[in-house]
Structure 1
Amino acid sequence: MKKQLISALFLLSCFDAFAQVTKEDIGKEIKPLTEKVKSLQSENNKLKIEISSINSKIATVNQKLDTLNKKVQSNISDIQKTNSELNGKITNSETTTNQKFTQVDNSLSKNSLWSIIGILGAIIVSGLVYWLVSKRQTTDKTDVEAQISKTKKTLEEEGVKLDTKLTEVLETQLKLVQEERAKIPANKSEEIDHSLALKVADEIVRINKNLSNMDTNTKGLKQLSASVKRIEDNFAANGYDMPEILNKPFDPRMKMVANMVEDENLEKGSEVITKIIKPQVNFKGVMIQSAQVEVSVGQ
């Protein structure tokens, strides 16, 4: 019995000691949890305040939505009312317009028939007059063109006659010059006058240009061509020559005066001699007159 009592007292003392130790440990663990709870409660209070603010804003928005809905309903009602009024006005306008159209139709059928006939008659007469005037203008134009063509042909024939006489005179003068030079002794040096030769060269270029632009059926054209050929032969027999440069590529190194003219029909960058204003004339291989030409430049 005594041993049991001792054992019981020992167990109680051990349990009391264990309870004290456990209580201290639990207190240490509970303290941070308590602080966390307080922190959560503080945050919860903040959330409640924010939720309350949000609810207040939502209530305000709902009020505004209700106000807008009321305005929309009011606008719909006004639109329906306006639509009803417009339909009524359109119906009245259609009725009035139909009545006026009926009145106009009746008026036209009674009073405007002769007016329409008069207008159609005027149109027909105007068309007939226009046709007659156009026909007369065409006839006059044809007559004028025929007269111009006839005058041009006459002028060309007269020009051919004059140029033929001119070539005869130049040919005679060249022969005289050739005879005079033949009388000069070979050992005598004398400055030669090239003025006649240069004049002949200019006339050859001019006549050849005119020949290229004339109708091949022009009266006297063949005779003039033959005369020019004789002059060219006589020109060469006197020691003169004219290099053929027309329609040849232009070289800036050439000794000539060139007038540049843009030409869209040529390839870009190309330069061609398309007109001879003054020919190049050589005497016994030595240039005595430089050419003056027109050069077309491709763009």
Structure 2
Amino acid sequence: MKYKLSFGIIIIFSFSVFAQMAKLDETKELKPLIQKIVQLQSENNKLKSEISSINSKVATVNQKLETLDQKVQSNASDIKKTNSELKGRIANSETTTNQKFTQVDNSLSKNSLWSIIGILGAIIVSGLVYWLVSKRQTNDKTIVEAQISKTKKTLEEEGIKLDTKLTEVLETQLKLVQEERAKVPANKSDEVDHSLALKVADEIVRINKNLSNMDANTKGLKQLSASVKRIEDNFAANGYDMPELLNKPFDPRMKMIANMVEDENLEKGIEIITKIIKPQVNYKGVQIQSAQVEVSVGQ
């Protein structure tokens, strides 16, 4: 009986030792992976800081564009005011001329010749003043438009530089995520963090919208377009996709937030998605973010 009890104790002790050794080996295997994850988190925080700085610069550029638009509206208002004043002067001149012609008809005499000459002189002077003012106004408008165009082009080129830098940062982040996921065992069921992917999706939509509004000859435009294409390819390689919704018919059954806007140019009953505020994002065929869109409704 004692031998059986001793044998049982030995077996239990052996299993305990074996379990402790297996746990120790597992800890040694996970330690490099944990260190790599800590390193990637540090790099990710640094990249997030760069993205925040770039977004701040982009916001500054957008604010400058808004200020520029306000100046354009102010100049247009001044030009309109000048036209109104000039038309008033011409109207007064025409009234004066008509009155003098009436006086000539009522009492035509030799002395009236000087009145006729004076009237003709007034007409000539009025025409000359109108021509000079119009010419100066046209020149001023041309100069202002040229300055606005030059400033807008400069701001667009600066925006392209910032967006190109942003795409490089996002592309680096996507590659790091792709490499990290490749190291995780296939049977590991940890929840996937989609925060970076959703940020990338929003930036892709914003940049593509800006590109569609720029002149094709803008400096740096082709380089930025190529960078966005690489990000979209990398985005897809990580299992994400964004369905094309712009200019598509709207269906109330779609899982999205829709802002309805009346459009008199559309036939009654027609509903078209005309603006993407936030894109729909799918991961491996499953929707992880609903789209927010603007829908034009025919009246």
Compute the TM-score of the two structures, normalised by the length of structure 2: 0.63
TM-aligned CA deviation for residue 108 of structure 1: 3.4
Show structure 2 runs of 5+ residues with no match: 1-103
Q: Secondary structure at the match of 2:109?
A: helix
Alignment correspondent of 1:108:
108
AA aligned to 1:283 is Y
Q: Distance in 1 between matches of 2:106 and 2:186?
A: 116
Matches within 5 A, 1:120-139: 120-139=120-139
Distance 1:291 1:106, change over 3 A: closer
Does residue 283 of the first structure (1) align with residue 283 of the second (2)?
Answer: yes
Displacement of 1:128 after TM fit?
0.4
The alpha carbon displacement at 1:204 in A equals 0.2
| 2:153 paired with 1:143 | no
- Alpha-carbon distance, 1:107 to partner: 4.9
Question: CA separation in 1, counterparts of 2:106 and 2:203?
Answer: 86
Number of the residue aligned with 2:183 = 183
Matches of 1:134 and 1:114 in 2, distance apart?
A: 30
Q: How does 1:44-83 map to 2 (within 5 A)?
A: none
Partner of 2:7: none
Count residues with an aligned counterpart.
196
Distance 2:199 2:118 in 1: 75
1:92-103 matches, within 5 Å, as: none
Task: Please identify runs of 4+ aligned residues in structure 1 that moved more than 3 A.
Answer: 104-108
Are 2:216 and 1:216 equivalent residues in the alignment?
A: yes
- One-letter amino acid matched to 1:152: K
SS in 2 for 1:294: strand
Question: What amino acid maps onto 1:160 in structure 2?
Answer: I
Report the Cα offset of residue 218 of structure 1.
0.7
Q: Distance in 2 between matches of 1:113 and 1:218?
A: 64
Cα pair distance change 1:108/1:244, threshold 3 Å: same
3-state secondary structure, aligned to 2:260: strand
Letter paired with 2:255: K
2: CA distance, partners of 1:114 / 1:122: 12
SS in 2 for 1:147: helix
**Alignment RMSD, CA only?**
1.5
Please give the secondary structure, in 2, of the residue aligned with 1:108.
coil
TM-score normalised by the chain length of structure 1: 0.63
- Amino acid of the residue matched to residue 284 of structure 2? K
The within-5 A match list for 1:221-236 is: 221-236=221-236
Which range is displaced more, 220-229 or 173-182?
173-182
Letter in 1 for 2:217: N
Q: Secondary structure at the match of 1:188?
A: coil
Q: Residue in 1 aligned with 2:169?
A: 169
Q: CA deviation at 1:112?
A: 2.9
Q: Which residue of 2 aligns with 1:46?
A: none
1:191/1:106 CA distance change after superposition, 3 Å: closer
Q: How many Å separate the matches in 2 of 1:247 and 1:192?
A: 32
- CA 187–105 in structure 1, closer or farther in 2 if over 3 Å, else same: closer
* 5+ long unaligned stretches in structure 1: 1-103
Q: Partners of 1:238 and 1:135 in 2: how far apart?
A: 61
- 1:78-115 CA deviation, whole Å, 9 max, x = no partner? xxxxxxxxxxxxxxxxxxxxxxxxxx979530443322
| Residue range with higher mean Cα deviation, 228-237 or 154-163 | 154-163
- Give the number of the structure with larger relative contact order, counting CA–CA contacts within 8 Å between residues 6 or more apart: 2
CA displacement at 1:181 relative to structure 2: 1.5
Alignment partner of 2:186: what SS? Answer: coil
> Alpha-carbon deviation of 1:120?
1.6
Q: Secondary structure at 2:294's aligned position in 1?
A: strand
- The DSSP-based 3-state class of the residue aligned with 2:156 is helix
Change in Cα spacing, 1:107 to 1:263, as seen in structure 2 (3 Å) is closer
Which whole-Å CA distance do the structure 1 matches of 2:260 and 2:106 have between them?
A: 77
Q: Distance in 2 between matches of 1:110 and 1:228?
A: 84
Q: Which has the larger radius of gyration?
A: 1
Which one is further off, 202-211 or 120-129? 120-129
Provide the rounded CA distance (Å) in 2 between the counterparts of 1:240 and 1:287. 9
